[in-house]
Structure 1
């Protein structure tokens, strides 16, 4: 027997079977791949079902065009409030003003841009708040002002880029500024008090209570709740002569049973026995209606828990920066503010 021929025949037969099997496998793989591709195409062509948002989130959001129509009309929103301010263990009458306006901000320099059209990627649209309090203690007046610069895009920029606060009264004046740098806030503080002096320090980029006032207007459903690390308000830290530090706060966002169109955001700091309650509209543009701040006021054994209160007087949407002549003084009367 010619064994070589036999082996060759067997080899050819074996290879033929293997090739035939490979062809069949290729066909099978092709069919499977085609079926998967057709299924994927059908899935992609079908309309996507959006996840249903919680009821609270729906009631606290607004369409982008509604936001633009309100905030990009070339006007600021000015709200005036009757103020009852705790100071020196007593309540003093005064007034407060919240001025909200959108601006173009420099991400690098952290100042308002002079030429935003030339800034390129350095331009960040922000919502700015200027928060003013004025009240009198005995013979001399207090004037407090805080500015908060919060990017409109809270997903890309989850925290304010900058805040500043100044206080003036007859004893002297103080100034504080926070600048966001990476994952830290750089803080500069200046005061006429020796114990407070001129300080520079850094804190982790946690929530600032100061930025709560802009987040309510931008996206209140994203306000932090539960146990939160937060730096207390600049106004409070200066008036109470407290250090700049991160505190734990208990935060809640609720809707009063008898006021379905409003929301209340509340912060409580156990370390300071201090509570802040901000009442605002649940629907866009989430205007702030009133607030209360409660904490031990005064110094030493005479300190007692008092409540600062502010309630809305009136509101104007106007380009106030063009209304600086004598003829415009009547607008202050519309806001219920004193002359001068």
Structure 2
């Protein structure tokens, strides 16, 4: 039996086994949602996230690289998609996929900035199941980094109680790497969790795998480590602060208190000063995959994108 089919089998057998498996998962640490709360927000969630459009958000970016602050832009694209549990790719024919079809929220995080003469373009894609009770872990996350020296690609795929990690790099020190990392909450899934879980994140100490981008920029090997999540509330927003206990890294994410729990801003700090600061410029909902003509470039102006 293939590893992916084994995952599907393990997720489909008796509820008793599922409960035993969940003891080792971060599902227990996710805030509980009462059944009647789920019912009361189903129409609101469906009307927004299954409208045939994606949520497009543009952010002003300040990004430190090589000891200097660079100005740039970030686009966060949130959209729901049918996803193959066995292949871990978007389904072409979801109606024919049966139980292999797992609806997910996809986040494409596109970050662009310039260092001197050359550009950085970074894309992180994260695929988090909408039904967190049945599928408590993000199924897949990957990051590609392109710049004039070369490019790297890293990916995490859920396989039973591990994430299968692969990295492919232009640089000799990295080369091609492959290993398993025990399942934990991904830093790269924090924003999808916020959007899916009514603006909430688990609080207190938790096992977390830091972001693939931080791993690359700080030359840290990907692994599960301890982090602490805390929350502060303002009149219209919530701010979550994530502090790694064994690494000098802190992340703050500010989100709307009310549906659809839009991400307002975030910062990342590695202990040597600000490394990332992003603040929302504009948010629109569009079926961007159909907007390919020259006339559709007006939507980029609406998003206040500079180029």
TM-score class, shorter-chain normalisation, is 0.7 to 0.9
Residue 263 (structure 1) shift: 0.6
Does the aligned pair in 1 maintain the 2:198–2:259 contact within 8 Å?
Answer: no
Task: Specify which of 269, 273, 281 is matched with residue 294 of structure 1.
Answer: 269
Residue 272 (structure 1) shift: 2.2
Label 1:145 to 1:171 Cα distance change in 2 as closer, same or farther (>3 A).
Answer: same
Aligned positions of 1:1-340 closer than 5 A: 63-220=41-198, 223-255=201-233, 259-296=234-271, 304-339=272-307
User: Which segments of 5 or more consecutive residues in structure 1 lack a partner in the other structure?
Assistant: 1-53, 297-303
CA RMSD of aligned residues (A): 1.9
Label 1:276 to 1:135 Cα distance change in 2 as closer, same or farther (>3 A).
Answer: same
Label 1:288 to 1:233 Cα distance change in 2 as closer, same or farther (>3 A).
Answer: same
Q: Secondary structure at the match of 1:158?
A: coil
Q: Secondary structure at the match of 1:136?
A: strand
Structure 1 residue ranges (4+ consecutive) displaced by more than 3 angstroms after TM superposition:
none
Does the aligned pair in 2 maintain the 1:187–1:201 contact within 8 Å?
Answer: yes
Q: Secondary structure at the match of 1:177?
A: strand
Alpha-carbon distance between aligned partners in 2 of 1:79 and 1:161, rounded to the nearest angstrom: 23
Q: TM-score, normalised by structure 1?
A: 0.77
**Greater helix percent: which structure?**
1
Alpha-carbon distance between aligned partners in 2 of 1:91 and 1:134, rounded to the nearest angstrom: 13
Does the aligned pair in 1 maintain the 2:137–2:185 contact within 8 Å?
Answer: yes
Deviations 1:119-156 (A, max 9, x none): 00100011100000000011111000000000100111
Alpha-carbon distance between aligned partners in 2 of 1:204 and 1:225, rounded to the nearest angstrom: 20
Residue 282 (structure 1) shift: 1.1
Residue 240 (structure 1) shift: 1.3
User: Which segments of 5 or more consecutive residues in structure 2 lack a partner in the other structure?
Assistant: 1-30
Q: TM-score, normalised by structure 2?
A: 0.86
